[in-house]
């Protein structure tokens, strides 16, 4: 049985990451592919809440099984910030250069640079909601390295590696990333259902 699932995103980076992780048992469609052009609000105070808001919006409006994710960079010395505000940390838009600048500025002179990426996936199948979480621990380095990836990838060095996420080939990042870990749980769950 092939599952058709809507991934509530128009972020092509996320879509390509997910598609490279998901096998032939699943057909994944983006919001654009189902004609959803609305900007779905992410107004919840938690990653779980935002993921659910997006998935619920699509399920209610289009009646299709759907999953959505929300990801935050949580920095220990900043009390977990930027967290749920990761995409809008420095500005209202998704200006990741400004976001990175703000994080580096706030960590200037700070010794503890421990951080983690946390992704929460909310899945709605036939009206039931399931959550999956992926975490990768690491640290924030002092200056950008690498041109691959997106978001905070150029300053995030995962534990046990000497390359930032932005220096890693996508295939390598997909083996260890927070999103990969959450999506692997999602896939395992779907495989059991199929």
pLDDT digits (tens, 9 = 90+) for 79-115: 999 999 998 899 877 788 999 999 999 999 999 999 9
Query: Could you say which of 24, 39, 69, 70 is catalytic?
Result: 70
CA dist., res. 167 & res. 173, Å (int)? 9
Domains of the chain by start residue, with CATH: 3-193 (3.90.950.10)
- Do β-strands 114-125 and 128-140 pair in parallel, antiparallel, or remain unpaired? antiparallel
Place of tokens 């995030």: 156
Question: Within a 10 A sphere around the Cβ of 165, how many other Cβ atoms?
Answer: 28
Half-sphere exposure of 192 (CA within 13 A, CB side): 5
pLDDT in tens, 141-169: 999 999 987 899 999 999 999 999 999 99
Quote the pTM value: 0.88
pLDDT at 18: 76
Assigned token pair, 96: 């990741």
pLDDT at 22: 72
pLDDT in tens, 9-56: 887 777 777 777 776 767 888 999 999 988 888 899 999 999 999 999
User: With the C-alpha atoms ordered 94, 143, 176, 149, is the resulting torsion angle positive or negative?
Assistant: positive
pLDDT at 174: 82
pLDDT at 10: 82
Secondary structure (H, E, C), the chain: CCEEEEECCCCHHHHHHHHHHCCCCEEEECCHHHCCCCCCCCCCCCHHHHHHHHHHHHHHHHCCCEEEEEEEEEEHHHCCCEECCHHHCCCCCCCHHHHHHHHHHHCCCCCCCEEEEEEEEEEEECCEEEEEEEEEEEEECCCCCCCCCCCCHHHEEECCCCCCCCCCCHHHHHHHCHHHHHHHHHHHHHHHHC
Active site residue 70: yes
pLDDT, average across residues 62-79 = 95
């Amino acid at each position: 049985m092939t599952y058709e699932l809507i991934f509530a995103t128009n972020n092509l980076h996320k879509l390509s990451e997910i598609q490279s992780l998901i096998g032939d048992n699943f057909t994944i469609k983006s919001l654009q592919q189902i004609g959803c052009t609305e900007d779905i609000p992410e107004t919840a105070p938690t990653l779980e809440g935002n993921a659910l808001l997006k998935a619920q919006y699509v399920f209610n409006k289009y009646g299709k099984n759907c999953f959505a994710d929300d990801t935050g960079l949580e920095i220990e010395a900043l009390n977990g910030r930027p967290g749920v505000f990761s995409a809008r940390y420095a500005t209202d838009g998704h200006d990741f250069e400004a976001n990175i600048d703000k994080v580096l500025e706030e960590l200037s002179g700070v010794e503890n640079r421990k951080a983690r990426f946390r992704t929460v996936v909310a899945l709605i199948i036939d009206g039931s909601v399931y959550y999956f979480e992926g975490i990768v621990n690491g640290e924030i380095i002092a200056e950008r390295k690498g041109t691959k990836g997106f978001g905070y990838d150029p300053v995030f060095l995962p534990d046990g590696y000497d390359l930032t996420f932005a220096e890693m080939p996508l295939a390598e990042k997909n083996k260890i990333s927070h999103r990969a870990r959450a999506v692997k749980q999602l896939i395992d769950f779907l495989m059991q259902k199929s």
